[in-house]
């Protein structure tokens, strides 16, 4: 059963069928093969119970928050401010790419939105200042991954739903690793530009007066971040309610800057509906597939096979890391999380690993999947923003940042308190 399921999944993905459809079709195929009863008759009830989860309402709200900030021009001004403050480092605007991605991640909660937003603003600077194109493109793809680690994060919400873990604790646990990963990305750029100074392009100069004046453009996204995250930890709002507060704050900022128009709102809502529809299709299809696998005994067979290996907790951790790195080359991140976490999390938690720490590690592994070929979503996002050039440049430029993620995984394994310190302090 396990081999058949895996082969069918790889075949469906290899046929370039959209991931949500592939997961649903796989469930429809496995049902008559291994089930004595027609499990498809439970799709309606399953879809209702899956959708009827209050935390999931946060997903479209966080997407809408990012859309409003993007379309009201705050992202462009934020990038300009970051470029003035960080361009003195070796690598210049590549640090602005990462810094702006980290800041936008703290408001949007979406990796794709972060990569698309910062990439739209930053790409014209490659030729203008003579940067090494692959490394610059890689900084955009990798910087975008911060959107699912730095709170508020849509993927952390999903992990909390799937494992019944505290989303506020997960948000706290993601802050230090998220900032540390941004620092590792910047260190990667610095090392590359020290070894090859010509990769860093022409230096941008700015006076201290210009830098301090630009701080006004960093205030709106920071204000949204403190409104969303602060309301959660002050006990004033749940994550879903905090997302709604963030949308309200973004609309007020857009109105204050005279960018709040009906056409802008229509475009933001349309973008939100498209992204939400894609995410919910994947969630529903994966929920049906998990239901079929559980009812037919495939999940139990996989779990028993893994436990039967007799690995120690450390050996199992290595197996899980390798498993996610390989799977991330073939599956989209949300579907990978939804199909694997119900199997992986109970095993790892049973071996003594903290569920909050495990969530952060899985998110970092999922981040790596966003920039590893052939299915790395952020690679396609950055490539789609370019007017010309091969996808190979984006792939090659992203590889040094994958190495930085590997360093963070090692640090998390050796120093678990990097993720667990803040949740423990605020208990």
Per DSSP, the three-state class of 227 is helix
pLDDT over 90 at 340, yes or no: no
At 231, list the tokens. 């309301």
At 109 the pLDDT is: 64
At 279 the pLDDT is: 77
pLDDT over 80 at 2, yes or no: no
At 412, list the tokens. 């998390």
Return the minimum-mean-pLDDT range out of 16-25, 258-267, 318-327. Answer: 16-25
Distance in angstroms (rounded) separating the CA atoms of residues 193 and 206: 20
At 27 the pLDDT is: 85
Distance in angstroms (rounded) separating the CA atoms of residues 329 and 373: 6
At 410 the pLDDT is: 94
Whole-angstrom CA distances from 332 to 2, 12, 110, 338, 406 are 20, 13, 14, 10, 19
Q: How many CA atoms lie within 13 A of 142 on its CB side?
A: 34
Most confident of 22-31, 130-139, 292-301: 130-139
Eight-class DSSP state of 331: S
Per DSSP, the three-state class of 226 is helix
pLDDT over 70 at 278, yes or no: yes
Whole-angstrom CA distances from 210 to 83, 125, 204, 215 are 11, 19, 12, 9
For residue 181, name the pLDDT band (cuts at 50, 70, 90): very high
Of 90, 76, 175, whose CA–CA distance to 119 is shortest? 76
DSSP letters, 4-18, are: HHHHHHHHHHHTT--
CB atoms within 10 A of CB 44: 9
Q: Is 235 left (phi over 0), alpha (psi -120 to 50) or beta?
A: left
Distance in angstroms (rounded) separating the CA atoms of residues 52 and 108: 23
At 412 the pLDDT is: 94
Eight-class DSSP state of 149: T
CB of 155 closer than 8 Å to CB of 337: yes
* pLDDT tens per residue across span 205-219: 778 888 888 888 888
pLDDT over 70 at 33, yes or no: yes
DSSP letters, 55-108, are: GGGHHHHHHHHHHHHHHTTHHHHHHHHHHHHHTTSTTTHHHHHHHHHHHHHHHH
At 355 the pLDDT is: 94
* pLDDT tens per residue across span 102-137: 888 777 666 777 787 788 888 888 888 888 889 999
pLDDT over 90 at 288, yes or no: no
Whole-angstrom CA distances from 66 to 74, 90, 117 are 10, 30, 9
At 284 the pLDDT is: 83
CB of 342 closer than 8 Å to CB of 73: no
pLDDT over 70 at 417, yes or no: yes
b/e burial code for range 388-427 (CB count within 10 A of at least 16 → b): eeeeebbbbbbebbbebbeebbebbeeebebbbebbeeee
Distance in angstroms (rounded) separating the CA atoms of residues 244 and 83: 30
* pLDDT tens per residue across span 363-390: 999 888 888 877 677 888 888 878 777 7
| N-to-C CA span, the chain | 43
Query: Over pLDDT 90: what percentage of the chain?
Result: 18
pLDDT over 90 at 350, yes or no: no
* pLDDT tens per residue across span 49-92: 777 777 778 888 888 887 888 788 777 788 888 888 887 888 88
At 189 the pLDDT is: 93
- Sorted by sequence, the CB contacts under 8 Å of residue 350 that are 6+ apart come out as none
**H or E stretch at 243:** helix 239-256
Tell me the mean pLDDT in the region 349-359.
92
Query: Over pLDDT 70: what percentage of the chain?
Result: 98
CB of 113 closer than 8 Å to CB of 276: no
At 415 the pLDDT is: 94
Of 358, 359, 381, whose CA–CA distance to 370 is shortest? 381
Mean confidence (pLDDT) of the chain:
84
Of 19, 120, 20, 18, whose CA–CA distance to 67 is shortest? 120
């Amino acid at each position: 059963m396990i081999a058949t399921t895996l082969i069918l999944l790889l075949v469906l993905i290899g046929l370039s069928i959209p991931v949500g459809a592939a997961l649903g079709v796989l469930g429809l195929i496995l049902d008559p093969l291994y089930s004595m009863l027609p499990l498809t008759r439970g799709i309606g009830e399953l879809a209702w119970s899956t959708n009827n989860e209050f935390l999931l309402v946060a997903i479209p709200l966080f997407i809408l928050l990012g859309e409003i900030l993007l379309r009201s021009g705050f992202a462009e001004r934020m990038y300009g401010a970051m470029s003035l403050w960080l361009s003195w480092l070796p690598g210049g605007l590549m640090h602005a790419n990462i810094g702006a991605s980290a800041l936008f991640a703290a408001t949007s909660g979406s990796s794709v939105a972060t990569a698309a937003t910062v990439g739209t603003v930053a790409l014209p600077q490659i030729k203008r200042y003579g940067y090494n194109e692959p490394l610059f493109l890689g900084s955009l793809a990798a910087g975008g991954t911060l959107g699912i680690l730095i709170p508020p994060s849509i993927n952390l919400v999903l992990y909390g739903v799937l494992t019944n873990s505290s989303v506020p604790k997960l948000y706290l646990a993601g802050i230090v690793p998220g900032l540390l990963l941004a620092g590792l990305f910047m260190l990667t750029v610095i090392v590359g530009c020290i070894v090859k100074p010509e990769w860093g392009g022409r230096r941008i100069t700015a006076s201290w007066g210009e830098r301090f004046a630009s701080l006004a453009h960093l205030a709106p996204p920071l204000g949204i971040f403190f409104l969303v995250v602060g309301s959660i930890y002050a006990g004033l709002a749940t994550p879903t309610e905090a997302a709604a507060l963030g949308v309200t704050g973004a609309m007020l900022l857009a109105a204050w800057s005279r960018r709040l128009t009906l056409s802008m709102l229509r475009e933001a809502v349309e973008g939100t509906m498209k992204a939400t529809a894609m995410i919910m299709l994947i969630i529903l299809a994966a929920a049906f597939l998990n239901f079929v696998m559980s009812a037919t005994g495939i999940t139990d067979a996989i779990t028993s096979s893994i436990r039967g290996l007799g690995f120690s907790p450390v050996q199992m951790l290595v197996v899980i890391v390798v498993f996610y790195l390989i799977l991330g080359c073939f599956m989209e991140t949300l579907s990978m999380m939804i199909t694997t976490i119900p199997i992986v999390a109970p095993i790892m938690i049973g071996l003594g690993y903290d569920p909050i720490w495990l969530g952060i590690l899985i998110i970092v592994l999922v981040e790596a999947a966003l920039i590893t070929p052939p299915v790395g979503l952020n690679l396609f996002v950055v490539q789609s923003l370019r007017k010309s050039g091969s996808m190979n440049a984006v792939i090659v430029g992203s590889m040094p940042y994958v190495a930085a993620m590997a360093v963070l995984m090692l640090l998390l394994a050796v120093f678990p308190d990097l993720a667990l310190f803040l949740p423990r302090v605020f208990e």
